[in-house]
């Protein structure tokens, strides 16, 4: 009787382990290759979107299959989010570009730039791929969201 119980328990444990392994193997992978457009940028209440500032979408990130990327502004007109006599908030000027390399690990994308490293988080919601990059600039955290 004891042997039957051990055999039954062993089989139950084996089935449970196999079921766990099957359900945990579904890891989402992201194909980042292609051109992404900026949807929003800013810090806290000062976050602006391309719905109200269409020029934001002219900020592009193109990821190549060889793990290189190009970030560029694809318009001739400057993208002003604020423009007064005393200050301006510019997000893109004609000719702006930078390049580097990247690596995707899970939901994170690591960008190597001439200014230092940057990390983005990838997600997919309602068939819209998003890339969110948070950078600290002048003691403020600016969050930029790109969509593909």
Q: What is the secondary structure of 8-71 as a DSSP string? A: HHHHHHHHHHHHHHHHH---------EEEEEEEEESGGG-EETTT-GGGGGEEEEE-TTSEEEE
pLDDT band at 141 (very low <50, low <70, confident <90, very high): confident
CATH number at residue 39: 2.40.128
Q: How many domains does the chain have?
A: 1
13: left (phi > 0), else alpha (psi -120 to 50), else beta? alpha
What are 96-133's pLDDT values in tens digits? 999 999 999 999 999 998 878 899 999 998 889 999 99
What are 14-46's pLDDT values in tens digits? 444 444 444 444 456 789 999 999 999 998 888
Please tell me which residue, 3 or 86, carries the higher pLDDT value.
Answer: 86
Is position 14 within any domain? no
Is position 68 within any domain? yes
Residue range of the domain that includes 122: 34-147
Is position 95 within any domain? yes
Burial tier of 135 (Cβ tally within 10 Å: 0-12, 13-18, 19+)? middle
The structure's pTM equals 0.76
């Amino acid at each position: 009787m004891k042997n039957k119980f051990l055999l039954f328990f062993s089989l139950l444990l084996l089935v449970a382990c196999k079921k766990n392994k099957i359900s945990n193997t579904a890891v989402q992978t992201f194909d980042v290759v292609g051109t992404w457009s900026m949807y929003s940028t800013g810090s806290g209440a000062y976050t602006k979107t391309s719905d109200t500032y269409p020029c934001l979408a002219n900020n592009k990130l193109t990821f190549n299959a060889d793990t290189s990327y190009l970030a560029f502004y694809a318009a001739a007109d400057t993208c002003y989010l604020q423009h007064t006599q005393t200050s301006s908030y510019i997000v893109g000027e004609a000719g702006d570009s930078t390049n580097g390399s990247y690596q995707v690990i899970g939901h994170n994308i690591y960008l190597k730039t001439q200014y230092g490293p940057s990390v983005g988080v990838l997600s997919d919601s309602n068939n819209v791929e998003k890339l969110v990059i948070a950078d600290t600039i002048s003691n403020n955290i600016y969050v930029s969201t790109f969509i593909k």
